[in-house]
């Protein structure tokens, strides 16, 4: 009798865990669906500097789904594969549009904007100052930058964002808040440049 009772309890526990896993997967798929819808609407305005963050978000949203993909229903699995294909196509298109930058010139920009050419080795304690320096440099020089200059600046900003993602868990809350504010400011400065370019183009076409 005890054996049957233990077996029943074990079966119930396993069933409960499986149900929780399925429920979590459905929520994960819904989160990915919502995220993709939002990013698709913003696709044309996403800058190169934002891509490290986008890639990190996608990996975070899909890690659980990838681990438990076989537990998805056939319909959910088909939708998940379609969402991943759409994302991969978007990422590949972005990579194809990336500009080939001169190595020595890039190092010059890295040094000017962050104080080092080894951004991937910046310590957590140095991230805040690196972002402050980059933002200060952008504020001071952006009005004289060409589109090519912005391409270098965006690339350096993207490198810094990638490093931030790697050391995020070791940053203090105050550093996270400050860095987030500086990231928003850089994106705003870049988009104001884009808006000015569009305005100038419209004036020239009149």
Does the pLDDT at position 107 exceed 90?
A: yes
> pTM of the predicted model, to two decimals?
0.57
196 or 118: which leads in pLDDT: 118
Label residue 25 exposed, middle or buried (CB < 10 Å: 0-12, 13-18, 19+): buried
Cα–Cα distance, 7 to 173 (Å, whole number) = 48
Whether 98 and 150 have beta carbons less than 8 Å apart is answered as no
Cα–Cα distance, 163 to 177 (Å, whole number) = 16
Neighbours of 157 (CB within 10 A): 27
- Range among 5-14, 25-34, 48-57 rated most confident: 25-34
* Residue 100 CA to its chain's centroid (Å): 21
203 or 52: which leads in pLDDT: 52
Cα–Cα distance, 19 to 68 (Å, whole number) = 13
Q: What does the pLDDT look like over 40-78, one tens digit per residue?
A: 777 667 777 788 888 889 999 999 898 888 888 889 988
Does the pLDDT at position 96 exceed 80?
A: no
Residue appearing with tokens 């490198």: 159
Q: What is the mean pLDDT of the chain?
A: 82
Q: What does the pLDDT look like over 134-180, one tens digit per residue?
A: 999 999 999 999 999 998 999 899 889 888 888 888 999 999 999 99
pLDDT range class, residue 21, cuts 50, 70, 90 = low
**108-116 contacts at long range (C-beta below 8 A, 24 or more positions apart):** 109/152, 109/153, 109/155, 109/156, 110/156, 110/159, 112/137, 113/137, 113/138, 113/153, 113/156, 113/157, 114/156, 114/160
Q: What does the pLDDT look like over 30-40, one tens digit per residue?
A: 999 999 998 87
């Amino acid at each position: 009798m005890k054996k049957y009772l233990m077996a029943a309890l074990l079966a119930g526990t396993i069933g409960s865990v499986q149900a929780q896993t399925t429920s979590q997967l459905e929520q994960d798929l819904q989160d990915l669906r919502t995220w993709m819808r939002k990013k698709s609407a913003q696709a044309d305005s996403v800058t190169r500097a934002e891509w490290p963050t986008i890639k990190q978000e996608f990996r975070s949203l899909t890690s659980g789904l990838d681990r438990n993909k076989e537990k998805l229903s056939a319909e959910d699995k088909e939708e998940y594969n379609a969402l991943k294909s759409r994302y991969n196509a978007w990422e590949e298109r972005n990579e194809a549009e990336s500009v080939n930058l001169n190595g020595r010139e890039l190092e010059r920009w890295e040094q000017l904007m962050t104080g080092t050419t080894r951004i991937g080795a910046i310590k957590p304690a140095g991230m805040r100052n690196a972002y402050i320096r980059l933002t200060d440099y952008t504020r001071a020089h952006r009005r004289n930058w060409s589109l090519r200059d912005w391409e270098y600046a965006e690339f350096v900003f993207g490198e810094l964002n990638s490093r931030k993602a790697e050391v995020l868990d070791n940053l203090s809350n105050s550093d996270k808040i400050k860095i987030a504010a500086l990231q928003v400011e850089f994106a705003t400065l870049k988009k104001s440049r884009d808006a000015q370019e569009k305005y100038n183009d419209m004036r020239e076409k009149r």
